[in-house]
């Protein structure tokens, strides 16, 4: 079933059918109706490959997901949200989103990029690229619209979009400060990752801005790991350091902290207020429900879709843009003013 078959059935030329399919203005209403009817009856839909061949456009955006995403440092429930936003907007604009995965992660990843390039996509969104500068360099040489999600290279001309981790940590800390806390302990994530460094920065910023010099004695490192945070909390308390609140760089560590405090017979929030980060699924389910920072997920996906579309459809080389999205504080029951 092709455009020509439809043409024959409707007693018009295939060009007219093409015009009907593309909403060309110069088609008599009567003809349009007749052609449309036959198209519907036959259940015809034009071959995309032929269109693509002719136009050079594939209406297909690649999403390269780097392996780390399936590791714990990356909240697994981040993915559905961003996919939702991406596909929703892309489909709306007539595009598809095609998935590519890199399991090899650091050092590797080259094969995944090659696979991408062989697929004749219109643009590429890259999710989860972090420390692999060799891969980043390779990527920067692709002459295809590229958008980085959740990471950013200042020295490479690649547009990016990410949630503002610094602002998120700032807001979390500010919340604790606002309700009266001054001795706020901080559980750092993994400083090798951007988010780990950024969240610490936000914490420090809020503290200093309020005139509270952060006390190194109540700064811990939990490496984004529950067990690690658990142990760190035990030693923090046993060291005798005083603090009335704690800010954890992610919810998983917050859970570790919660477990440790329970073991030490300290109540949350009465004895210690606790704020997490990420709004992981379980944050609202545990006791007490965790106050935390939520990154916009669906919204991030939608914005990313908009950016890559404007790059793909823009006539000329678009300028490099770096977009930061605001995060929001989700107030639950793990925080209260200090005694």
Partner DNA sequence: AGAAAGAATGTACACGTTCACATTCACTAT
Partner DNA sequence: ATAGTGAATGTGAACGTGTACATTCTTTCT
Contact assessment for residue 198 and residue 172, using Cβ atoms and an 8 Å cutoff: no
Residue 131 partner contact from a copy of itself, DNA, none using kind-dependent CB cut-offs of 5 to 8 Å: none
Site string for DNA, 172-211 (x = CB under 7 A): ----------------------------------------
**Strand 292-294, strand 328-330: pairing:** antiparallel
Residues, the chain: 339
> How deeply is 183 buried, as exposed, middle or buried, from its count of CB atoms within 10 A (0-12, 13-18, 19+)?
middle
User: Applying CB under 7 A, what is the total number of residues that bind DNA?
Assistant: 28
Rounded Cα distance between 156 and 176, Å, is 37
- In whole angstroms, give the CA distance from residue 58 to residue 110: 23
The verdict on 120 binding a copy of itself (CB under 8 A) reads: yes
Binding residue for DNA, selected from 55, 118, 238, 239, defined by CB under 7 A: 55
Can you spell out the DSSP letters for 29-88? HHHHHHHHHHHHHHT----HHHHHHHHS---EEEEEEEGGGGSTTS-TTHHHHHHHHHHH
For residue 25 the two structure tokens come to: 């203005």
Is residue 60 close enough to count as binding DNA by CB under 7 A? no
Which tokens is 248 given?
A: 């954890």
Give the contacts of 318 (CB within 8 A, at least 6 positions apart). 145, 159, 310, 311
Closest approach, Cβ 316 to DNA, in A, equals 19
Q: How far is the CB of 122 from DNA (least distance, A)?
A: 15
Cβ–Cβ < 8 Å for 110, 138: yes
25: partner contacted, choices DNA, a copy of itself, none (Cβ within 5-8 A by kind): DNA
Instruction: State how far the Cα of 315 lies from the Cα of 334, in Å rounded to an integer.
Output: 51
Segment interacting with DNA, rule: CB under 7 A, options 46-54, 74-82, 191-199, 206-214: 46-54
Touching DNA, residues 12-31 (CB under 7 A):
12-16, 18-19, 21-22, 25-28, 30-31
Does 320 contact DNA by CB under 7 A?
A: no
The residue to which tokens 């050092």 are assigned: 107
Listed ranges 83-91, 191-199, 303-311, 322-330: which one lies at the site for a copy of itself (CB under 8 A): 83-91
- Stretch near a copy of itself under the rule CB under 8 A, chosen from 191-199, 277-285, 314-322, 331-339: 277-285
- Which residues of this chain interact with a copy of itself, rule CB under 8 A? 45, 47-53, 58, 60, 65, 69-70, 76-77, 79-81, 83-84, 86-88, 91, 96-101, 103, 115, 117-120, 226, 252, 255-256, 259, 262, 280-282, 285-287
- Which residues of this chain interact with DNA, rule CB under 7 A? 2-4, 11-16, 18-19, 21-22, 25-28, 30-31, 44, 46-47, 50-51, 53-56
């Amino acid at each position: 079933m092709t455009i020509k078959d439809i043409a024959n059935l409707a007693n018009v030329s295939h060009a007219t059918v093409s015009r009907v399919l593309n909403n060309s203005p110069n088609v008599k209403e009567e003809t349009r109706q007749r052609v449309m009817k036959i198209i519907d009856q036959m259940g015809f839909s034009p071959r995309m490959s032929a269109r693509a061949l002719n136009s050079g456009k594939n209406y297909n955006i690649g999403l390269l997901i780097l392996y780390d995403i399936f590791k714990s440092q990356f909240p697994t429930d981040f993915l559905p949200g961003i996919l939702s936003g991406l596909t929703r907007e892309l489909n709306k604009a007539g595009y598809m989103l095609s998935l590519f995965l890199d399991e090899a992660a650091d050092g590797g990843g080259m094969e995944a990029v090659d696979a991408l390039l062989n697929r004749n996509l219109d643009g590429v969104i890259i999710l989860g690229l972090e420390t692999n500068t060799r891969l980043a360099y390779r990527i920067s040489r692709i002459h295809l619209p590229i958008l980085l999600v959740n990471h950013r290279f200042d020295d490479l001309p690649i547009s990016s979009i990410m949630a503002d981790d610094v602002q998120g940590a700032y807001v979390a800390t500010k919340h604790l400060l606002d309700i009266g806390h001054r001795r706020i302990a901080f559980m750092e994530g993994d400083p090798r990752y951007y988010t780990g460094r950024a969240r610490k920065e936000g914490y420090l910023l809020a503290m200093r801005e309020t005139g509270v010099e952060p006390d190194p004695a109540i700064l811990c490192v939990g490496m984004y790991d529950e067990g690690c945070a658990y142990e760190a909390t035990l030693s923090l308390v046993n060291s005798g350091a005083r603090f009335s609140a704690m800010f954890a760089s992610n919810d998983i560590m917050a859970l570790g902290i919660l477990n440790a405090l329970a073991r030490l017979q300290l109540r949350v929030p009465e004895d210690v207020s606790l704020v997490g980060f990420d709004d992981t699924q379980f944050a609202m389910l545990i006791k007490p429900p965790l106050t935390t920072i939520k990154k916009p997920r669906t919204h991030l996906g939608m914005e990313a879709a908009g950016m890559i579309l404007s790059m793909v459809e823009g006539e000329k080389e678009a300028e490099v843009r770096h977009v930061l999205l605001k995060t929001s504080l989700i107030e639950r029951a793990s925080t209260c003013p200090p005694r």
